[in-house]
């Protein structure tokens, strides 16, 4: 079971199926979601935040024991102590569910278009998973493209991992996803499971959502992509709570293991089980990375070269995709190298890709280079996120981080959601 907090100044309450559906189907919820997304489309982030905070807040990862909290009456200034199941980590009771947040999976300017086979993909998402439902796409969200992205990510999972998913829904912005799934106590705590599952899905995790008191703002019933209702409302893994309750109550929510996450899971690899990097060691076809590179550096005793080989899964890298592929590989290596730029560079240097020019490698590990400056100069004065990605040859998560850095440095400013303006012609 899990809980809901109707207002920030009120305690949580355990919520059942009927109450949950009443909230997500309520006309007020639909109105708030519509107003929030309209505010975001108009570039009014403050109004968007206000509307979002009025939406139903769910804490899927567990419930809370009774505690005391000092509550102040804002009108009179009077304070009083109230007993209740307050949303505080020091009194959490974990149920074994995990929530992974994928914010801004697509930008507002990247929502057009859909695959003609999407309906077929969507119908196949829950094959073999009894009790799972899917819903149509809401008209005022990221729409078909967002669901396409989820279908692609879902397709990378093994059947066992697919069965762990209990809820997937579109976030209040309309451009992100939240995924609720069952934890694997053998992998670790909440953030350990978030990172592991995200690597398998190939989606960029918002790692700030690691605390046990973190809630998720629900949207409408139409925003729910997939739900296993029976599992969502009844699931409880006592072993997970027994192992981690005390840790979270003591304020420890950081990862429990270092360098533990493999890159993207490819489902079942040729000749091996999913996640087994000791795959068939036959010579790959021309244009793919052979089993070499980074042999002196290992992750849990396995050479990084073998991990890189499994990451490519025997797929040929076409010339036009080489730079973008190298950027993606470097991004995923962060999870199994403790984000060590020196180690990442060494692994990339030893991967036998003859297209790794020095300037590209420096850009891959987030260093300034002549090419980096040239890409910035080529950007129009007013540009969209997709134009930035095309110009720099990088992924959307990498572009988002770079844009945030540029904004902090005063190089660009955000005109409206997904649209930016250059404030300088040359990088400082």
Q: pLDDT for 363-403, tens place per residue?
A: 444 433 445 667 788 889 898 888 888 777 776 766 777 78
Quickly list H helices, 216-303.
Answer: 229-234, 238-249
Q: What was the pLDDT predicted at 134?
A: 45
Whether residue 266 lies inside any domain: the answer is no
Clarify whether residues 53 and 134 are in a common domain: yes
Give the residue from 348, 364, 380 where a domain finishes. Answer: 364
Whether residue 379 lies inside any domain: the answer is yes
- pLDDT over 90 percentage in the chain: 36
Clarify whether residues 344 and 378 are in a common domain: no
Clarify whether residues 91 and 12 are in a common domain: yes
Clarify whether residues 417 and 302 are in a common domain: no
Whether residue 257 lies inside any domain: the answer is no
Tell me: pLDDT of 93 over 60.
yes
Structural domain including 340 reads 298-364
Clarify whether residues 320 and 199 are in a common domain: no
Q: What tokens does 205 get?
A: 């995790």
Whether residue 280 lies inside any domain: the answer is no
Clarify whether residues 217 and 308 are in a common domain: no
Whether residue 291 lies inside any domain: the answer is no
Clarify whether residues 79 and 173 are in a common domain: yes
Clarify whether residues 333 and 242 are in a common domain: no
Answer whether 0.85 is exceeded by the pTM: no
Residues 134-168 as b/e (b if ≥16 CB within 10 A, e otherwise) read eeebbebbbbbbbbbbbbebbebbbeebbbbbbbb
Give the residue from 317, 344, 364 where a domain finishes. Answer: 364
Clarify whether residues 71 and 202 are in a common domain: yes
**Structural domains counted in the chain:** 3
Clarify whether residues 50 and 64 are in a common domain: yes
- Round to whole Å and give the CA distance between 250 and 140: 42
Clarify whether residues 350 and 385 are in a common domain: no
| Strand order across the 132-134 sheet | 97-102, 177-182, 165-170, 224-228, 132-134
Q: What was the pLDDT predicted at 295?
A: 38
Clarify whether residues 240 and 317 are in a common domain: no
Whether residue 259 lies inside any domain: the answer is no
Whether residue 265 lies inside any domain: the answer is no
Whether residue 289 lies inside any domain: the answer is no
């Amino acid at each position: 079971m899990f809980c809901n907090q109707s207002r920030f100044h009120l305690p949580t309450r355990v919520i059942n199926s009927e109450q949950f559906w009443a909230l997500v189907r309520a006309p007020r919820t639909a109105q708030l979601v519509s107003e929030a997304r309209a505010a975001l489309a108009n570039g009014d982030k403050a109004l968007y935040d206000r509307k979002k905070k009025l939406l139903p807040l769910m804490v899927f990862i567990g419930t809370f024991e009774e505690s005391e909290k000092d509550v102040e009456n804002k009108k009179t200034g009077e304070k009083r102590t109230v007993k209740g199941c307050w949303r505080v980590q020091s009194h959490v009771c974990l149920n074994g569910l995990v929530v992974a947040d994928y914010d801004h999976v697509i930008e507002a300017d990247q929502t057009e278009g859909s695959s003609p086979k999407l309906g077929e993909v969507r119908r196949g998402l829950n094959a073999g998973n009894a009790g799972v439902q899917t819903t149509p796409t809401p008209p005022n969200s990221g729409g078909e493209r967002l669901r396409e992205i989820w279908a692609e990510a879902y397709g990378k999972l093994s059947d066992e991992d697919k069965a762990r998913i209990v809820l997937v829904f579109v976030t209040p912005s309309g451009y992100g996803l939240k995924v609720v799934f069952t934890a694997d106590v053998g992998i670790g705590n909440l953030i350990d499971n978030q990172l592991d599952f995200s690597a398998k899905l190939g989606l960029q995790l918002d790692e700030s959502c690691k605390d046990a008191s973190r809630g998720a703002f629900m949207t409408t019933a139409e925003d729910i992509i997939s739900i296993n209702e029976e599992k969502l409302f009844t699931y409880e893994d006592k072993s997970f709570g027994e192992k981690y309750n005390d840790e979270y109550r003591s304020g420890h929510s950081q990862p429990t293991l270092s360098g533990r996450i493999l890159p993207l899971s490819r489902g079942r690899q040729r000749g091996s089980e999913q996640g087994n990097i000791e795959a068939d060691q036959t010579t790959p076809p021309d244009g793919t990375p052979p089993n070499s590179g980074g042999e002196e550096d290992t992750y849990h005793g396995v050479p990084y070269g073998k991990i890189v080989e499994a990451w490519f899964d025997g797929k040929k890298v076409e010339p036009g995709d080489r730079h973008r592929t190298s950027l993606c590989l470097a991004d995923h290596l962060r999870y199994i190298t403790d984000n060590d730029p020196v180690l990442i560079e060494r692994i990339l240097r030893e991967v036998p890709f003859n297209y790794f020019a020095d300037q590209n490698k420096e850009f891959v590990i987030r260093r300034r280079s002549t090419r980096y400056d040239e890409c910035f100069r080529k950007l129009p004065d007013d540009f969209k996120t997709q134009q930035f990605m095309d110009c720099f040859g990088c992924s959307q998560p990498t572009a988002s981080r770079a844009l945030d850095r540029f904004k902090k440095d005063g190089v660009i400013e955000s005109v409206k959601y997904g649209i930016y303006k250059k404030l300088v012609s040359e990088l400082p």
